[in-house]
Amino acid sequence: QSVLTQPPSVSGAPGQRVTISCTGSSSNIGAGYDVHWYQQLPGTAPKLLIYGNSNRPSGVPDRFSGSKSGTSASLAITGLQAEDEADYYCQSYDSSLSGSGVFGTGTKVTVL
């Protein structure tokens, strides 16, 4: 069971803006650890989308943005496109349980 909670699904029409939340606790996001986001297209390996809460790797469109506040983080997709239909996961570090990496529960984005 993941310690980072995401909504199971979000949807939007092409061109719209959608946001995905990632809720943690005082032992992970709330402790100051950074949040990173990954995109997983159907049948493929995850791909790094956002690192260090709000930074985009080279090649990631600026339609994707990330933020963090308190014990939560968010991923926003503006100008939604058909190719954005995928699963999205947040990831951080948790200082409990001898310290470990943790992923969010995952969110399926559907483009209507």
Summarize as ranges the residues that interact with other proteins (CB under 8 A): 2, 33-34, 36, 38, 40, 44-48, 51-52, 57, 87, 89, 91, 93, 95, 97-106
Tokens, residue 44 = 């493929």
Write the DSSP string, 45-82: --EEEEBTTTBPPTT--TTEEEEEETTEEEEEE-S--G
Nearer to other proteins, 52 or 79 (CB): 52
Distance between CA 25 and CA 85 in Å, rounded? 28
Q: Quote the least distance from Cβ 70 to other proteins, whole Å.
A: 18
Nearer to other proteins, 3 or 80 (CB): 3
Nearer to other proteins, 1 or 69 (CB): 1
Diameter over CA atoms, the chain: 43
Q: Quote the least distance from Cβ 106 to other proteins, whole Å.
A: 4
Q: Quote the least distance from Cβ 14 to other proteins, whole Å.
A: 26
Answer yes or no: are the C-beta atoms of 99 and 93 closer than 8 Å: yes
CA dihedral (85, 90, 12, 66) positive or negative: negative
Nearer to other proteins, 24 or 36 (CB): 36
Q: Quote the least distance from Cβ 2 to other proteins, whole Å.
A: 7
